[in-house]
Structure 1
Amino acid sequence: MAGLQAGAPTPTALTVHNQSRVLEIDFSDGASFRIPLELMRVYSPSAEVQGHGPGQEVLQTGKRNVTLQELEAVGNYAVKPVFSDGHESGIFSWDYLYHLGADQDSLWAEYQRRLQAAGVDRDAPMVQAGGHACGSH
């Protein structure tokens, strides 16, 4: 399971900064990241965002000002954020948070590319797709 690999870095400190909208996280290998909450939200590992397979991702928009209402521990391997827009189905393992922090420049670039390809602004309101009922959200 992700986040439980032997020797993988684990968090030593985790601080939510809702005013600046970042999650500050320090890892046992000395790495330290300030992950924008918007980045976490648009790359949530939930099926609602990622879909159920390649090509089923749902482009997230209007998340620039999202904050965290809650951050629940999930065992010793992850956290489950509750975002201010109501999204709460993503479980962020330690290795996924490390990935978001370490690769945020390339993830932002990919997000910008996807927005441009869709002809949508990052601040556009989300358009709700109708009829999807997979039961995993």
Structure 2
Amino acid sequence: RLFFEVTGLVMLTYDAVMTPLLVAWTPDANVFVVASAVTLAYWITDMLLNFCTGYYVKGEPVMQLGVIVRCYLATWFVLDFLINGLDCLILALELTEHGGQQGLGRAAPVVMRAGRILKVNKLLRIVVFI
């Protein structure tokens, strides 16, 4: 799990650096579509793993699956679901545009990607844990 969290740090850094660049210049390159797909796959996997990742309350580990699921649903799940859902929509739009079909324009979907920056709060939680 630690390796996965460190990989998350790399993915988050990529998103934090590339989102403003993609918003500003909207380059038309397949490499960015592939990178978007890879980061999206990581974040969806992270979301699924969070349903079975324990946590600490007052220094005591919580490992009961039902309690973990309820806690995740009450805290990070909605944000993770919204961000990953937006990323799925954006990736679908990018694939449509790269396929030569009429897209909805690159500016609007790329601006929506800025929602990924909301993961900075999660990054801080990971750093405190390590």
Q: TM-score, normalised by structure 1?
A: 0.23
Flag the structure with higher helix content: 2
Whose Rg is larger? 2
Higher relative contact order (CA 8 A, sep 6+): 2
